[in-house]
Protein backbone atom coordinates (compact mmCIF):
# COMPACT_ATOMS: atom_id res chain seq x y z
CA UNK A 1 0.00 0.00 0.00
CA UNK A 2 1.13 3.52 -0.79
CA UNK A 3 0.17 6.15 1.80
CA UNK A 4 -0.10 9.77 0.71
CA UNK A 5 0.04 12.89 2.85
CA UNK A 6 -3.22 14.83 2.48
CA UNK A 7 -2.79 18.11 0.62
CA UNK A 8 -4.98 20.70 -1.04
CA UNK A 9 -4.77 18.96 -4.41
CA UNK A 10 -6.54 15.91 -2.96
CA UNK A 11 -9.84 17.77 -2.67
CA UNK A 12 -11.29 16.47 -6.00
CA UNK A 13 -10.28 12.92 -5.08
CA UNK A 14 -11.96 13.19 -1.69
CA UNK A 15 -15.21 14.45 -3.15
CA UNK A 16 -15.22 11.89 -5.94
CA UNK A 17 -15.44 9.20 -3.27
CA UNK A 18 -17.46 11.13 -0.65
CA UNK A 19 -20.21 12.06 -3.11
CA UNK A 20 -20.93 8.48 -4.08
CA UNK A 21 -23.76 8.68 -1.54
CA UNK A 22 -25.31 11.53 0.48
CA UNK A 23 -23.83 12.52 3.84
CA UNK A 24 -24.91 14.88 6.59
CA UNK A 25 -22.12 14.96 9.19
CA UNK A 26 -19.62 17.83 9.08
CA UNK A 27 -16.58 15.58 8.62
CA UNK A 28 -17.72 14.75 5.09
CA UNK A 29 -16.57 18.19 3.94
CA UNK A 30 -12.93 18.06 2.84
CA UNK A 31 -12.23 21.45 4.39
CA UNK A 32 -13.28 20.24 7.84
CA UNK A 33 -10.60 17.57 7.65
CA UNK A 34 -7.86 19.52 5.91
CA UNK A 35 -7.73 22.31 8.52
CA UNK A 36 -6.55 19.83 11.19
CA UNK A 37 -3.25 19.13 9.45
CA UNK A 38 -1.45 21.21 12.10
CA UNK A 39 -2.54 18.70 14.75
CA UNK A 40 -2.35 15.41 12.88
CA UNK A 41 -0.29 13.77 10.19
CA UNK A 42 -3.18 13.02 7.80
CA UNK A 43 -2.60 10.19 5.33
CA UNK A 44 -4.79 8.52 2.74
CA UNK A 45 -4.62 5.27 0.83
CA UNK A 46 -6.86 3.44 -1.61
CA UNK A 47 -7.86 -0.04 -0.48
CA UNK A 48 -9.97 -2.16 -2.82
CA UNK A 49 -11.78 0.80 -4.41
CA UNK A 50 -12.24 2.65 -1.12
CA UNK A 51 -10.54 5.87 -0.01
CA UNK A 52 -9.29 5.52 3.56
CA UNK A 53 -8.06 8.45 5.68
CA UNK A 54 -5.94 8.15 8.82
CA UNK A 55 -5.12 10.70 11.52
CA UNK A 56 -1.81 10.10 13.28
CA UNK A 57 -0.09 11.92 16.14
CA UNK A 58 2.26 11.07 19.00
CA UNK A 59 -0.48 9.20 20.85
CA UNK A 60 -1.74 6.91 18.11
CA UNK A 61 -3.65 6.49 14.87
CA UNK A 62 -7.36 6.46 14.09
CA UNK A 63 -9.72 7.09 11.17
CA UNK A 64 -11.76 10.32 11.27
CA UNK A 65 -14.47 8.78 9.08
CA UNK A 66 -15.29 5.40 7.53
CA UNK A 67 -13.75 4.30 4.23
CA UNK A 68 -15.29 6.29 1.39
CA UNK A 69 -16.68 4.28 -1.46
CA UNK A 70 -16.83 0.52 -1.25
CA UNK A 71 -17.13 -0.78 2.31
CA UNK A 72 -16.42 -4.45 2.89
CA UNK A 73 -15.00 -6.66 5.58
CA UNK A 74 -11.77 -6.81 3.63
CA UNK A 75 -11.40 -3.03 3.56
CA UNK A 76 -12.28 -2.60 7.24
CA UNK A 77 -9.99 -5.45 8.31
CA UNK A 78 -7.08 -3.87 6.45
CA UNK A 79 -7.83 -0.48 8.02
CA UNK A 80 -7.78 -1.91 11.52
CA UNK A 81 -4.61 -3.86 10.76
CA UNK A 82 -2.91 -0.61 9.70
CA UNK A 83 -4.00 1.12 12.90
CA UNK A 84 -3.13 -1.76 15.21
CA UNK A 85 0.35 -2.04 13.73
CA UNK A 86 0.99 1.57 14.73
CA UNK A 87 -0.92 1.85 17.99
CA UNK A 88 0.68 0.76 21.24
CA UNK A 89 -2.68 1.15 22.95
CA UNK A 90 -5.16 -0.92 20.93
CA UNK A 91 -8.07 1.19 22.21
CA UNK A 92 -6.81 3.93 19.89
CA UNK A 93 -7.75 1.84 16.82
CA UNK A 94 -11.18 3.13 15.83
CA UNK A 95 -13.27 4.64 13.06
CA UNK A 96 -15.07 7.83 14.04
CA UNK A 97 -18.09 9.61 12.55
CA UNK A 98 -19.97 6.55 11.40
CA UNK A 99 -23.45 7.71 10.37
CA UNK A 100 -26.53 5.96 11.73
CA UNK A 101 -27.40 4.54 8.32
CA UNK A 102 -24.09 2.65 8.27
CA UNK A 103 -24.40 0.98 11.66
CA UNK A 104 -26.14 -2.11 10.28
CA UNK A 105 -23.23 -2.69 7.89
CA UNK A 106 -20.62 -2.42 10.65
CA UNK A 107 -22.63 -4.66 12.95
CA UNK A 108 -23.13 -7.26 10.23
CA UNK A 109 -19.37 -7.27 9.58
CA UNK A 110 -18.61 -7.97 13.24
CA UNK A 111 -17.76 -4.52 14.59
CA UNK A 112 -19.17 -2.84 17.66
CA UNK A 113 -19.83 0.84 18.17
CA UNK A 114 -20.79 3.55 20.63
CA UNK A 115 -22.25 7.03 20.27
CA UNK A 116 -19.49 9.61 19.82
CA UNK A 117 -21.51 12.82 19.73
CA UNK A 118 -24.38 14.70 18.14
CA UNK A 119 -24.58 17.30 15.41
CA UNK A 120 -27.36 19.83 15.10
CA UNK A 121 -29.22 20.50 11.84
CA UNK A 122 -31.35 23.63 11.46
CA UNK A 123 -33.59 24.72 8.61
CA UNK A 124 -32.06 27.52 6.52
CA UNK A 125 -35.39 29.34 6.24
CA UNK A 126 -35.86 29.30 10.03
CA UNK A 127 -32.53 30.96 10.76
CA UNK A 128 -32.71 33.43 7.86
CA UNK A 129 -36.09 34.78 8.99
CA UNK A 130 -36.36 34.01 12.73
CA UNK A 131 -40.12 33.81 12.24
CA UNK A 132 -42.66 32.70 14.81
CA UNK A 133 -42.76 32.38 18.58
CA UNK A 134 -39.98 29.77 18.57
CA UNK A 135 -37.51 32.45 17.48
CA UNK A 136 -39.00 35.42 19.32
CA UNK A 137 -35.89 35.91 21.48
CA UNK A 138 -33.41 35.51 18.59
CA UNK A 139 -35.46 37.90 16.46
CA UNK A 140 -35.52 40.46 19.25
CA UNK A 141 -31.75 40.24 19.68
CA UNK A 142 -31.07 40.60 15.96
CA UNK A 143 -33.51 43.52 15.68
CA UNK A 144 -31.94 45.25 18.68
CA UNK A 145 -28.54 45.01 17.04
CA UNK A 146 -29.79 46.38 13.72
CA UNK A 147 -31.61 49.30 15.35
CA UNK A 148 -28.80 50.31 17.69
CA UNK A 149 -25.59 49.74 15.74
CA UNK A 150 -23.95 51.26 12.70
CA UNK A 151 -22.88 48.12 10.87
CA UNK A 152 -21.85 46.71 7.50
CA UNK A 153 -21.91 43.08 6.34
CA UNK A 154 -19.18 42.20 3.85
CA UNK A 155 -17.90 39.09 2.11
CA UNK A 156 -14.65 37.90 3.62
CA UNK A 157 -11.44 38.59 1.72
CA UNK A 158 -7.77 37.96 2.49
CA UNK A 159 -7.25 41.56 3.63
CA UNK A 160 -9.41 40.80 6.68
CA UNK A 161 -7.31 37.82 7.81
CA UNK A 162 -5.34 39.50 10.60
CA UNK A 163 -8.44 41.31 11.82
CA UNK A 164 -10.33 38.01 12.09
CA UNK A 165 -7.48 36.32 13.96
CA UNK A 166 -7.19 39.28 16.33
CA UNK A 167 -10.94 39.11 16.94
CA UNK A 168 -10.66 35.38 17.68
CA UNK A 169 -7.83 35.94 20.18
CA UNK A 170 -9.89 38.54 22.01
CA UNK A 171 -13.00 36.34 21.90
CA UNK A 172 -10.97 33.37 23.17
CA UNK A 173 -9.50 35.43 26.00
CA UNK A 174 -13.00 36.37 27.15
CA UNK A 175 -14.08 32.73 27.07
CA UNK A 176 -11.03 31.53 29.01
CA UNK A 177 -11.54 34.19 31.69
CA UNK A 178 -14.99 32.71 32.38
CA UNK A 179 -14.15 29.02 32.01
CA UNK A 180 -10.80 27.68 33.23
CA UNK A 181 -11.50 24.07 32.27
CA UNK A 182 -8.26 22.77 30.71
CA UNK A 183 -10.01 20.70 28.04
CA UNK A 184 -12.19 23.63 27.00
CA UNK A 185 -9.19 25.98 26.85
CA UNK A 186 -7.22 23.48 24.76
CA UNK A 187 -10.19 23.16 22.42
CA UNK A 188 -10.29 26.93 21.91
CA UNK A 189 -6.56 27.01 21.17
CA UNK A 190 -6.85 24.16 18.66
CA UNK A 191 -9.80 25.89 16.99
CA UNK A 192 -7.71 29.04 16.61
CA UNK A 193 -5.00 27.06 14.82
CA UNK A 194 -7.63 25.38 12.62
CA UNK A 195 -9.10 28.77 11.74
CA UNK A 196 -5.62 30.04 10.87
CA UNK A 197 -5.19 27.07 8.51
CA UNK A 198 -8.59 27.75 6.93
CA UNK A 199 -7.80 31.41 6.29
CA UNK A 200 -4.33 30.60 4.96
CA UNK A 201 -5.89 28.42 2.24
CA UNK A 202 -9.17 30.31 1.90
CA UNK A 203 -8.98 30.89 -1.84
CA UNK A 204 -8.12 27.25 -2.54
CA UNK A 205 -10.96 25.79 -0.48
CA UNK A 206 -14.73 25.79 -1.05
CA UNK A 207 -15.32 28.16 1.85
CA UNK A 208 -17.87 30.94 2.15
CA UNK A 209 -17.41 33.56 4.85
CA UNK A 210 -18.72 36.93 5.93
CA UNK A 211 -17.56 39.63 8.32
CA UNK A 212 -19.50 42.33 10.12
CA UNK A 213 -18.04 45.76 10.80
CA UNK A 214 -19.52 47.69 13.72
CA UNK A 215 -18.69 51.36 14.10
CA UNK A 216 -15.95 50.84 11.55
CA UNK A 217 -14.19 47.90 13.24
CA UNK A 218 -14.30 44.20 12.44
CA UNK A 219 -16.59 42.71 15.08
CA UNK A 220 -17.83 39.35 13.75
CA UNK A 221 -16.82 36.54 11.43
CA UNK A 222 -18.57 33.42 10.23
CA UNK A 223 -17.61 30.75 7.70
CA UNK A 224 -18.76 27.42 6.36
CA UNK A 225 -18.57 24.81 3.63
CA UNK A 226 -21.02 22.68 1.64
CA UNK A 227 -21.49 19.06 2.66
CA UNK A 228 -23.92 18.25 -0.15
CA UNK A 229 -26.24 20.05 -2.56
CA UNK A 230 -28.78 20.56 0.23
CA UNK A 231 -26.65 20.84 3.40
CA UNK A 232 -24.24 23.60 4.36
CA UNK A 233 -22.00 23.42 7.43
CA UNK A 234 -21.08 26.38 9.64
CA UNK A 235 -17.57 25.66 10.97
CA UNK A 236 -16.63 28.98 12.61
CA UNK A 237 -18.56 31.85 14.11
CA UNK A 238 -17.17 34.50 16.45
CA UNK A 239 -18.62 37.84 17.53
CA UNK A 240 -17.69 40.71 19.78
CA UNK A 241 -20.18 40.21 22.60
CA UNK A 242 -20.02 43.86 23.62
CA UNK A 243 -22.51 44.38 20.75
CA UNK A 244 -25.81 43.02 22.00
CA UNK A 245 -27.52 40.83 19.42
CA UNK A 246 -24.55 40.63 17.05
CA UNK A 247 -24.19 36.85 17.35
CA UNK A 248 -27.86 36.28 16.53
CA UNK A 249 -27.67 38.78 13.68
CA UNK A 250 -24.62 37.38 11.88
CA UNK A 251 -25.97 33.83 11.95
CA UNK A 252 -29.23 35.00 10.39
CA UNK A 253 -27.48 37.21 7.83
CA UNK A 254 -25.23 34.35 6.76
CA UNK A 255 -28.18 31.95 6.56
CA UNK A 256 -29.99 34.44 4.32
CA UNK A 257 -27.12 34.13 1.82
CA UNK A 258 -27.49 30.32 1.75
CA UNK A 259 -30.86 30.08 0.02
CA UNK A 260 -29.72 27.24 -2.23
CA UNK A 261 -29.33 25.00 0.84
CA UNK A 262 -32.35 23.66 2.71
CA UNK A 263 -30.39 22.70 5.82
CA UNK A 264 -27.51 24.04 7.89
CA UNK A 265 -25.32 21.80 10.02
CA UNK A 266 -24.09 23.79 13.04
CA UNK A 267 -21.79 20.94 14.12
CA UNK A 268 -21.54 19.28 17.53
CA UNK A 269 -21.37 20.57 21.08
CA UNK A 270 -17.99 18.96 21.94
CA UNK A 271 -19.66 17.42 24.97
CA UNK A 272 -19.88 20.84 26.65
CA UNK A 273 -23.25 21.56 28.25
CA UNK A 274 -23.24 25.33 27.63
CA UNK A 275 -22.52 24.83 23.93
CA UNK A 276 -25.31 22.27 23.76
CA UNK A 277 -27.77 24.71 25.37
CA UNK A 278 -26.79 27.43 22.89
CA UNK A 279 -27.28 25.17 19.87
CA UNK A 280 -30.68 24.05 21.15
CA UNK A 281 -31.85 27.68 21.22
CA UNK A 282 -31.78 27.57 17.41
CA UNK A 283 -34.51 24.88 17.49
CA UNK A 284 -32.77 22.19 15.42
CA UNK A 285 -34.93 20.25 13.01
CA UNK A 286 -32.70 17.21 13.53
CA UNK A 287 -30.12 16.10 16.06
CA UNK A 288 -27.96 13.46 14.41
CA UNK A 289 -25.79 11.05 16.33
CA UNK A 290 -22.35 10.06 15.09
CA UNK A 291 -20.79 6.77 16.15
CA UNK A 292 -17.37 5.28 16.69
CA UNK A 293 -16.72 1.74 15.44
CA UNK A 294 -14.12 -0.60 16.87
CA UNK A 295 -13.20 -4.25 16.88
CA UNK A 296 -15.60 -6.58 18.63
CA UNK A 297 -12.90 -7.65 21.08
CA UNK A 298 -11.99 -4.10 22.08
CA UNK A 299 -13.12 -2.56 25.36
CA UNK A 300 -14.43 0.99 25.47
CA UNK A 301 -12.60 3.03 28.12
Q: What is the CATH number of the domain that holds 101?
A: 3.40.630.30
Residues 272, 136, single domain; the answer is yes
Asked, for residue 226, whether it belongs to a domain, the answer is yes
Whether this model's pTM surpasses 0.85: yes
Q: DSSP alpha helices (H): ranges in 181-272? A: 182-200, 246-256
Quick one: pLDDT at residue 284? Answer: 97
The size of the chain, in residues, is: 301
Last residue of a domain, one of 116, 138, 167: 116
As a whole number of angstroms, the distance between CA 228 and CA 34 comes to 17
Residue 30 within any structural domain of the chain: yes
Instruction: Give the per-residue pLDDT at 79.
Output: 96
- Do 84 and 19 fall within a single domain? yes
pLDDT in tens, 3-48: 999 999 999 999 999 999 999 999 999 999 999 999 999 999 999 9
Residue numbers in the chain where pLDDT is lower than 70: 297-301
Residues 53 and 64: their CA atoms lie apart, in Å, by: 7
* Residues 70, 131 within the same domain: no
**Residue 221 forms part of a structural domain:** yes
SS3 147: helix
Total tally of structural domains belonging to the chain: 2
| pLDDT for the residue numbered 297 | 60
141 shares a domain with 109: no
| Closest listed residue to residue 97, CA positions, set 120, 65, 68, 119 | 65
The residue out of 116, 140, 159 marking a domain boundary is: 116
Of the three residues 116, 132, 156, the one that is the final residue of a domain is 116
- Regarding whether 274 and 227 lie in a shared domain, the answer is yes
The domain of 159 spans 120-289
Residue 294 in any domain: the answer is no
Interacting residues of 291 by C-beta distance below 8 A, sequence separation 6+: 97, 98, 99, 100, 103, 113, 114, 115, 116
Specify whether 131 is located in the same domain as 276.
yes
Query: Is 37 among the domain residues?
Result: yes
Question: What's the pLDDT score for residue 299?
Answer: 46
pLDDT of residue 298: 45
Task: Characterize the bridge pairing of strands 151-155 and 208-214.
Answer: antiparallel
Q: 275 and 209 in one domain?
A: yes
Is the residue at 238 inside a domain? yes
Same domain, 166 and 127: yes
Handedness of CA 119, 124, 128, 130 (dihedral sign): negative
| Judgement on whether residues 23 and 75 belong to the same structural domain of the protein | yes
Q: Is the domain of 141 the same as that of 84?
A: no
Beta bridge partners of 121: 265, 286
Residues 111 and 222 in one domain: no
Do residues 88 and 139 share a domain?
Answer: no
Q: Is residue 296 part of a domain?
A: no
Per the domain annotation, does 74 fall within a domain? yes
Amino acid sequence: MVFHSLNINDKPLFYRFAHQKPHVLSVYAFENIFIWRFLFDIRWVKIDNALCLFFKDGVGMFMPLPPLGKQSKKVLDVCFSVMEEFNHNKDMSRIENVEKEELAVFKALGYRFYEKGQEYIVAQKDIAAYKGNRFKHKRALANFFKKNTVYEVRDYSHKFKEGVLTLYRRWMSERVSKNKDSIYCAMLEDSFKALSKLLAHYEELDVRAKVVFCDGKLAAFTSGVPISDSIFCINFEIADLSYKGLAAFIFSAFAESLKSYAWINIMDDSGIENIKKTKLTFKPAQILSSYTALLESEEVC
